[in-house]
Amino acid sequence: MLYNRFMPSIPVTAAPFFQEYTFPSLEVEKHAALVIERILAYGDRIEVRWLFETYGVDRVRAWVEQEGARLLSRRRYQLWAVMFEIPVPGRIAERRQAWPY
């Protein structure tokens, strides 16, 4: 694929979030779910701002609703659920415990 100068690239500051991948080969659109997950989990203001500018609030919110509880830590998921006003069922907090008794 030829480099498209109009396609935004993933911020270089986010490279440590993708240590098991070849960072330059990650594509913004092709690997969108992975990029959204890692930046919501580990990103700071700069990366999160880039995330919303690139994918839009609605797409990120939809990802949090569909995949967030499964892929983000409980603490991060609850943060983003509050930010997006997504109701968090009580079961999610209990489900992640190693020993629920």
Domain residue ranges in the chain: 12-95
The CA distance from 11 to 51, in Å, is: 9
Mean pLDDT of all residues in 15-28: 94
Report which DSSP code applies to 31: T
Q: How far apart are CA 46 and CA 66, in angstroms?
A: 24
**pLDDT surpasses 90 at 23:** yes
Q: What is the pLDDT of residue 58?
A: 96
Q: What is the pLDDT of residues 29-72, one digit of tens each?
A: 999 999 999 999 999 999 999 999 999 999 999 999 999 999 99
C-alpha triplet 11, 13, 18: angle, nearest 5°: 85
SS3 4: coil
Query: Residue 13 gets which letter from DSSP?
Result: G
The DSSP secondary-structure symbol of 48 reads H
The whole-number pLDDT of residue 8 equals: 73
* Residue (of 3, 2, 37) closest to 18 by Cα position: 37
Q: What is the pLDDT of residue 21?
A: 93
